[in-house]
Structure 1
Protein backbone atom coordinates (compact mmCIF):
# COMPACT_ATOMS: atom_id res chain seq x y z
CA UNK A 1 0.00 0.00 0.00
CA UNK A 2 1.22 3.48 -0.75
CA UNK A 3 2.54 5.80 1.97
CA UNK A 4 2.43 3.21 4.72
CA UNK A 5 -1.23 2.26 4.33
CA UNK A 6 -2.54 -1.27 4.91
CA UNK A 7 -5.43 -3.34 3.65
CA UNK A 8 -8.00 -3.73 6.43
CA UNK A 9 -10.89 -6.18 6.84
CA UNK A 10 -13.76 -6.01 9.28
CA UNK A 11 -13.28 -8.26 12.31
CA UNK A 12 -16.94 -9.39 12.63
CA UNK A 13 -17.12 -10.11 8.89
CA UNK A 14 -14.18 -12.53 9.18
CA UNK A 15 -15.76 -14.11 12.27
CA UNK A 16 -19.09 -14.79 10.58
CA UNK A 17 -17.74 -15.60 7.09
CA UNK A 18 -17.93 -19.35 7.68
CA UNK A 19 -21.26 -19.35 9.50
CA UNK A 20 -23.60 -19.64 6.50
CA UNK A 21 -21.77 -22.49 4.71
CA UNK A 22 -21.28 -24.37 7.98
CA UNK A 23 -24.96 -23.97 8.83
CA UNK A 24 -26.22 -25.34 5.51
CA UNK A 25 -23.63 -28.13 5.40
CA UNK A 26 -24.67 -29.03 8.95
CA UNK A 27 -28.38 -29.03 8.10
CA UNK A 28 -27.80 -31.24 5.05
CA UNK A 29 -25.49 -33.57 6.98
CA UNK A 30 -27.99 -33.84 9.84
CA UNK A 31 -30.84 -34.54 7.41
CA UNK A 32 -28.91 -37.25 5.56
CA UNK A 33 -27.55 -38.51 8.88
CA UNK A 34 -31.08 -39.12 10.15
CA UNK A 35 -31.60 -41.87 7.55
CA UNK A 36 -29.37 -44.64 8.97
CA UNK A 37 -30.08 -46.08 12.42
CA UNK A 38 -26.38 -46.06 13.22
CA UNK A 39 -24.85 -47.81 16.21
CA UNK A 40 -26.73 -45.84 18.83
CA UNK A 41 -30.11 -45.71 17.12
CA UNK A 42 -31.84 -42.68 15.63
CA UNK A 43 -33.50 -41.41 18.81
CA UNK A 44 -30.27 -41.35 20.83
CA UNK A 45 -28.47 -39.81 17.85
CA UNK A 46 -30.98 -36.94 17.66
CA UNK A 47 -30.78 -36.29 21.42
CA UNK A 48 -26.98 -36.41 21.30
CA UNK A 49 -26.98 -34.06 18.32
CA UNK A 50 -29.21 -31.55 20.14
CA UNK A 51 -26.92 -31.57 23.18
CA UNK A 52 -23.81 -31.22 21.02
CA UNK A 53 -25.38 -28.33 19.11
CA UNK A 54 -25.93 -26.36 22.33
CA UNK A 55 -22.49 -27.14 23.80
CA UNK A 56 -20.56 -26.42 20.60
CA UNK A 57 -22.46 -23.19 19.95
CA UNK A 58 -21.69 -21.94 23.46
CA UNK A 59 -18.00 -22.91 23.26
CA UNK A 60 -17.51 -21.20 19.88
CA UNK A 61 -19.45 -18.09 20.94
CA UNK A 62 -17.37 -17.55 24.08
CA UNK A 63 -13.96 -18.75 22.85
CA UNK A 64 -11.19 -16.11 23.03
CA UNK A 65 -13.55 -13.32 24.10
CA UNK A 66 -10.90 -11.89 26.41
CA UNK A 67 -8.46 -11.66 23.52
CA UNK A 68 -11.06 -9.94 21.31
CA UNK A 69 -11.88 -7.59 24.18
CA UNK A 70 -8.24 -6.58 24.72
CA UNK A 71 -7.64 -6.03 21.00
CA UNK A 72 -10.83 -3.95 20.69
CA UNK A 73 -10.00 -1.84 23.75
CA UNK A 74 -6.52 -1.05 22.42
CA UNK A 75 -7.61 -0.39 18.81
CA UNK A 76 -5.89 2.56 17.11
CA UNK A 77 -7.49 4.86 14.58
CA UNK A 78 -7.16 3.72 10.96
CA UNK A 79 -4.78 5.84 8.90
CA UNK A 80 -5.54 8.07 5.97
CA UNK A 81 -3.97 5.67 3.48
CA UNK A 82 -5.44 2.45 4.87
CA UNK A 83 -7.69 0.68 2.38
CA UNK A 84 -10.95 -0.89 3.58
CA UNK A 85 -11.77 -4.24 2.00
CA UNK A 86 -15.39 -4.80 1.03
CA UNK A 87 -17.54 -7.31 2.88
CA UNK A 88 -18.08 -9.48 -0.22
CA UNK A 89 -14.34 -9.76 -0.92
CA UNK A 90 -13.61 -10.66 2.71
CA UNK A 91 -16.28 -13.38 2.73
CA UNK A 92 -15.18 -14.75 -0.64
CA UNK A 93 -11.51 -14.89 0.42
CA UNK A 94 -12.36 -16.69 3.67
CA UNK A 95 -14.53 -19.28 1.96
CA UNK A 96 -12.01 -19.84 -0.82
CA UNK A 97 -9.21 -20.32 1.72
CA UNK A 98 -11.27 -22.80 3.76
CA UNK A 99 -13.14 -24.69 1.01
CA UNK A 100 -11.22 -27.95 1.52
CA UNK A 101 -11.66 -27.73 5.28
CA UNK A 102 -15.41 -27.21 4.79
CA UNK A 103 -15.58 -30.20 2.43
CA UNK A 104 -13.66 -32.40 4.86
CA UNK A 105 -15.88 -31.33 7.78
CA UNK A 106 -19.00 -32.14 5.75
CA UNK A 107 -17.73 -35.60 4.80
CA UNK A 108 -16.73 -36.28 8.41
CA UNK A 109 -20.20 -35.23 9.59
CA UNK A 110 -21.79 -37.63 7.07
CA UNK A 111 -19.45 -40.43 8.14
CA UNK A 112 -20.36 -40.11 11.82
CA UNK A 113 -24.02 -40.73 10.96
CA UNK A 114 -23.28 -44.45 10.70
CA UNK A 115 -22.25 -44.39 14.36
CA UNK A 116 -24.38 -41.58 15.85
CA UNK A 117 -27.10 -40.32 13.47
CA UNK A 118 -27.53 -36.52 13.13
CA UNK A 119 -24.73 -35.70 15.61
CA UNK A 120 -22.06 -34.70 13.07
CA UNK A 121 -24.37 -32.30 11.25
CA UNK A 122 -25.50 -30.84 14.57
CA UNK A 123 -21.88 -30.07 15.45
CA UNK A 124 -21.37 -28.13 12.19
CA UNK A 125 -24.61 -26.23 12.73
CA UNK A 126 -23.54 -25.51 16.32
CA UNK A 127 -20.26 -24.00 15.11
CA UNK A 128 -22.23 -21.78 12.73
CA UNK A 129 -24.60 -20.64 15.49
CA UNK A 130 -21.63 -19.88 17.74
CA UNK A 131 -19.95 -17.79 15.03
CA UNK A 132 -23.13 -15.78 14.48
CA UNK A 133 -23.43 -15.23 18.24
CA UNK A 134 -19.79 -14.07 18.47
CA UNK A 135 -20.26 -11.68 15.55
CA UNK A 136 -23.41 -10.30 17.21
CA UNK A 137 -21.45 -9.76 20.44
CA UNK A 138 -18.75 -7.90 18.51
CA UNK A 139 -21.49 -5.85 16.86
CA UNK A 140 -22.86 -4.79 20.25
CA UNK A 141 -19.34 -3.83 21.28
CA UNK A 142 -18.94 -1.76 18.12
CA UNK A 143 -22.26 0.02 18.68
CA UNK A 144 -21.42 0.72 22.33
CA UNK A 145 -18.06 2.22 21.36
CA UNK A 146 -19.45 3.95 18.25
CA UNK A 147 -16.63 2.45 16.16
CA UNK A 148 -16.07 -0.33 13.64
CA UNK A 149 -13.21 -2.77 14.25
CA UNK A 150 -10.75 -3.73 11.51
CA UNK A 151 -7.70 -5.97 11.27
CA UNK A 152 -4.84 -5.93 8.79
CA UNK A 153 -5.20 -8.38 5.91
CA UNK A 154 -1.56 -9.46 6.06
CA UNK A 155 -1.95 -10.52 9.71
CA UNK A 156 -4.67 -12.99 8.77
CA UNK A 157 -2.45 -14.89 6.34
CA UNK A 158 -3.27 -16.44 2.97
CA UNK A 159 -6.20 -18.44 4.36
CA UNK A 160 -7.81 -15.47 6.14
CA UNK A 161 -7.30 -16.99 9.56
CA UNK A 162 -8.71 -16.05 12.95
CA UNK A 163 -8.88 -12.28 13.62
CA UNK A 164 -7.76 -12.88 17.22
CA UNK A 165 -4.89 -15.25 16.42
CA UNK A 166 -1.27 -14.82 17.51
CA UNK A 167 -0.14 -12.95 14.35
CA UNK A 168 -2.72 -10.21 15.06
CA UNK A 169 -0.96 -7.45 16.99
CA UNK A 170 -3.85 -5.00 17.18
CA UNK A 171 -7.04 -3.68 15.64
CA UNK A 172 -7.77 -0.45 13.79
CA UNK A 173 -10.97 1.51 14.26
CA UNK A 174 -13.10 3.78 12.07
CA UNK A 175 -16.38 5.58 12.41
CA UNK A 176 -19.58 3.57 12.03
CA UNK A 177 -20.23 4.90 8.50
CA UNK A 178 -17.06 3.35 7.06
CA UNK A 179 -17.15 0.33 4.77
CA UNK A 180 -20.16 -1.61 3.52
CA UNK A 181 -20.92 -3.82 6.54
CA UNK A 182 -23.01 -2.84 9.56
CA UNK A 183 -21.87 -3.37 13.19
CA UNK A 184 -21.60 -7.12 13.69
CA UNK A 185 -20.61 -7.73 10.06
CA UNK A 186 -24.03 -8.05 8.45
CA UNK A 187 -24.69 -6.46 5.06
CA UNK A 188 -25.75 -2.83 5.30
CA UNK A 189 -29.29 -2.08 4.23
CA UNK A 190 -28.16 1.16 2.61
CA UNK A 191 -24.48 0.93 1.74
CA UNK A 192 -22.37 3.80 2.97
CA UNK A 193 -19.27 5.13 1.26
CA UNK A 194 -16.11 3.09 1.48
CA UNK A 195 -14.14 5.89 3.13
CA UNK A 196 -14.43 7.34 6.63
Structure 2
Protein backbone atom coordinates (compact mmCIF):
# COMPACT_ATOMS: atom_id res chain seq x y z
CA UNK A 1 0.00 0.00 0.00
CA UNK A 2 2.91 2.33 -0.46
CA UNK A 3 2.51 3.14 -4.14
CA UNK A 4 -0.91 4.79 -4.08
CA UNK A 5 -2.25 2.55 -6.87
CA UNK A 6 -5.74 2.85 -5.41
CA UNK A 7 -5.44 6.42 -4.17
CA UNK A 8 -4.21 8.12 -1.00
CA UNK A 9 -7.03 6.84 1.26
CA UNK A 10 -6.09 3.24 0.45
CA UNK A 11 -2.49 3.98 1.38
CA UNK A 12 -3.37 5.94 4.54
CA UNK A 13 -5.68 3.15 5.75
CA UNK A 14 -2.60 0.98 6.33
CA UNK A 15 -0.30 3.46 8.06
CA UNK A 16 0.72 3.78 11.69
CA UNK A 17 -1.45 1.58 13.96
CA UNK A 18 -3.08 -0.03 10.89
CA UNK A 19 0.17 -1.14 9.24
CA UNK A 20 -0.68 -4.80 9.74
CA UNK A 21 -3.41 -4.41 7.10
CA UNK A 22 -0.76 -4.12 4.40
CA UNK A 23 0.87 -7.36 5.58
CA UNK A 24 -2.52 -9.08 5.60
CA UNK A 25 -3.10 -7.91 2.00
CA UNK A 26 0.12 -9.63 0.97
CA UNK A 27 -0.74 -12.79 2.87
CA UNK A 28 -4.21 -12.84 1.26
CA UNK A 29 -2.63 -12.91 -2.21
CA UNK A 30 -0.58 -15.98 -1.25
CA UNK A 31 -3.66 -17.68 0.22
CA UNK A 32 -5.64 -16.93 -2.94
CA UNK A 33 -2.94 -18.34 -5.22
CA UNK A 34 -3.01 -21.58 -3.22
CA UNK A 35 -6.82 -21.71 -2.90
CA UNK A 36 -7.27 -21.36 -6.66
CA UNK A 37 -4.64 -24.05 -7.34
CA UNK A 38 -2.41 -21.62 -9.24
CA UNK A 39 0.42 -22.87 -7.05
CA UNK A 40 1.00 -24.73 -3.82
CA UNK A 41 3.10 -24.06 -0.75
CA UNK A 42 6.08 -26.14 -1.96
CA UNK A 43 6.24 -23.97 -5.10
CA UNK A 44 5.44 -20.56 -3.63
CA UNK A 45 8.29 -18.13 -3.04
CA UNK A 46 8.34 -14.45 -2.16
CA UNK A 47 10.84 -11.72 -2.92
CA UNK A 48 11.03 -8.08 -1.92
CA UNK A 49 13.42 -5.37 -0.87
CA UNK A 50 13.56 -2.35 1.39
CA UNK A 51 9.99 -1.93 2.67
CA UNK A 52 9.30 -5.02 0.58
CA UNK A 53 11.94 -6.76 2.70
CA UNK A 54 9.83 -5.85 5.72
CA UNK A 55 6.89 -7.53 3.98
CA UNK A 56 8.99 -10.66 3.42
CA UNK A 57 9.97 -10.67 7.09
CA UNK A 58 6.35 -10.25 8.18
CA UNK A 59 5.25 -13.11 5.91
CA UNK A 60 8.10 -15.27 7.21
CA UNK A 61 7.21 -14.69 10.86
CA UNK A 62 3.41 -14.58 10.54
CA UNK A 63 2.58 -17.11 7.79
CA UNK A 64 5.60 -19.32 7.08
CA UNK A 65 3.16 -22.15 6.34
CA UNK A 66 2.30 -20.47 3.02
CA UNK A 67 5.81 -20.31 1.52
CA UNK A 68 8.81 -22.45 0.67
CA UNK A 69 11.25 -19.66 -0.21
CA UNK A 70 11.89 -16.03 0.71
CA UNK A 71 14.36 -13.62 -0.87
CA UNK A 72 14.74 -10.77 1.60
CA UNK A 73 16.55 -7.88 -0.09
CA UNK A 74 18.09 -4.86 1.70
CA UNK A 75 15.32 -5.18 4.29
CA UNK A 76 13.86 -3.19 7.08
CA UNK A 77 13.71 -5.87 9.77
CA UNK A 78 14.17 -4.45 13.27
CA UNK A 79 11.28 -2.03 13.38
CA UNK A 80 11.91 -1.04 16.99
CA UNK A 81 15.20 0.59 15.92
CA UNK A 82 14.55 1.59 12.30
CA UNK A 83 14.26 5.27 13.20
CA UNK A 84 17.78 5.40 14.68
CA UNK A 85 19.63 4.32 11.53
CA UNK A 86 20.36 6.30 8.36
CA UNK A 87 17.13 7.63 6.75
CA UNK A 88 14.91 5.76 9.20
CA UNK A 89 13.62 8.78 11.11
CA UNK A 90 11.97 10.04 7.90
CA UNK A 91 9.67 6.98 7.91
CA UNK A 92 8.05 7.64 11.30
CA UNK A 93 5.03 9.09 9.49
CA UNK A 94 4.50 5.73 7.80
CA UNK A 95 5.19 3.34 10.66
CA UNK A 96 4.99 5.31 13.89
CA UNK A 97 7.60 6.15 16.51
CA UNK A 98 8.99 3.23 18.54
CA UNK A 99 10.04 5.66 21.29
CA UNK A 100 6.37 6.30 22.11
CA UNK A 101 5.11 3.30 24.14
CA UNK A 102 1.67 3.13 22.50
CA UNK A 103 3.18 3.20 19.02
CA UNK A 104 5.98 0.81 19.99
CA UNK A 105 3.31 -1.72 21.01
CA UNK A 106 1.69 -1.85 17.56
CA UNK A 107 5.04 -1.83 15.74
CA UNK A 108 6.33 -4.70 17.88
CA UNK A 109 3.35 -6.82 16.82
CA UNK A 110 4.69 -7.10 13.27
CA UNK A 111 8.40 -6.28 13.55
CA UNK A 112 10.06 -9.36 12.02
CA UNK A 113 13.20 -9.25 14.16
CA UNK A 114 11.23 -9.30 17.41
CA UNK A 115 8.88 -12.03 16.12
CA UNK A 116 11.54 -14.54 15.08
CA UNK A 117 11.10 -17.63 17.24
CA UNK A 118 12.31 -21.20 17.57
CA UNK A 119 10.25 -24.16 16.41
CA UNK A 120 8.58 -22.45 13.44
CA UNK A 121 8.21 -23.87 9.90
CA UNK A 122 10.45 -21.22 8.35
CA UNK A 123 11.94 -22.20 5.00
CA UNK A 124 15.61 -21.59 4.38
CA UNK A 125 15.75 -17.91 3.45
CA UNK A 126 18.13 -15.88 1.30
CA UNK A 127 18.93 -12.47 2.78
CA UNK A 128 21.13 -9.95 1.05
CA UNK A 129 22.26 -6.40 1.64
CA UNK A 130 24.94 -3.92 0.69
CA UNK A 131 27.66 -2.61 2.97
CA UNK A 132 27.20 0.80 1.34
CA UNK A 133 23.40 0.97 1.56
CA UNK A 134 22.75 4.58 2.56
CA UNK A 135 18.99 4.21 2.98
CA UNK A 136 18.33 1.00 4.92
CA UNK A 137 21.23 0.14 7.21
CA UNK A 138 22.81 -3.26 6.45
CA UNK A 139 22.51 -4.01 10.16
CA UNK A 140 18.87 -4.99 9.58
CA UNK A 141 19.87 -7.83 7.25
CA UNK A 142 22.88 -8.83 9.34
CA UNK A 143 20.80 -9.06 12.51
CA UNK A 144 18.06 -11.03 10.73
CA UNK A 145 20.56 -13.63 9.47
CA UNK A 146 22.37 -13.84 12.81
CA UNK A 147 19.15 -14.29 14.76
CA UNK A 148 17.88 -16.99 12.41
CA UNK A 149 21.19 -18.85 12.73
CA UNK A 150 21.11 -18.44 16.51
CA UNK A 151 17.65 -20.04 16.53
CA UNK A 152 18.97 -22.96 14.47
CA UNK A 153 17.50 -22.18 11.05
CA UNK A 154 19.37 -22.52 7.76
CA UNK A 155 19.94 -19.13 6.16
CA UNK A 156 21.82 -17.90 3.11
CA UNK A 157 23.38 -14.45 3.48
CA UNK A 158 25.12 -12.28 0.91
CA UNK A 159 26.52 -8.81 1.49
CA UNK A 160 27.85 -6.89 -1.47
CA UNK A 161 30.51 -4.38 -0.46
CA UNK A 162 29.30 -1.86 -3.06
CA UNK A 163 26.08 -0.77 -4.63
CA UNK A 164 24.11 1.26 -2.13
CA UNK A 165 20.42 0.52 -1.67
CA UNK A 166 20.21 -1.14 -5.09
CA UNK A 167 22.77 -3.73 -3.87
CA UNK A 168 24.70 -3.53 -7.13
CA UNK A 169 27.11 -0.79 -8.19
CA UNK A 170 27.29 -1.96 -11.80
CA UNK A 171 25.68 -4.43 -14.19
CA UNK A 172 28.14 -7.22 -13.33
CA UNK A 173 27.30 -7.01 -9.62
CA UNK A 174 23.58 -6.73 -10.33
CA UNK A 175 23.74 -9.79 -12.60
CA UNK A 176 25.57 -11.75 -9.90
CA UNK A 177 22.93 -10.86 -7.29
CA UNK A 178 20.08 -11.78 -9.62
CA UNK A 179 21.79 -15.08 -10.50
CA UNK A 180 22.13 -15.90 -6.80
CA UNK A 181 18.45 -15.09 -6.20
CA UNK A 182 17.15 -17.17 -9.08
CA UNK A 183 19.47 -20.09 -8.36
CA UNK A 184 18.12 -20.12 -4.80
CA UNK A 185 14.50 -19.87 -6.00
CA UNK A 186 15.01 -22.63 -8.58
CA UNK A 187 16.48 -24.95 -5.96
CA UNK A 188 13.73 -24.20 -3.44
CA UNK A 189 10.71 -24.14 -5.72
CA UNK A 190 11.41 -26.05 -8.94
CA UNK A 191 13.90 -28.84 -8.31
CA UNK A 192 12.16 -32.18 -7.83
CA UNK A 193 11.12 -33.22 -5.35
CA UNK A 194 10.22 -29.80 -3.95
CA UNK A 195 11.95 -29.12 -0.66
CA UNK A 196 9.78 -28.71 2.40
Query: Normalising by structure 2, what TM-score?
Result: 0.27
Work out which of the two has the higher radius of gyration on C-alpha atoms and give 1 or 2: 1
Larger RCO (alpha carbons 8 Å, 6+ apart): 1
Normalising by the residue count of structure 1, what TM-score does the alignment of the two structures yield?
Answer: 0.27
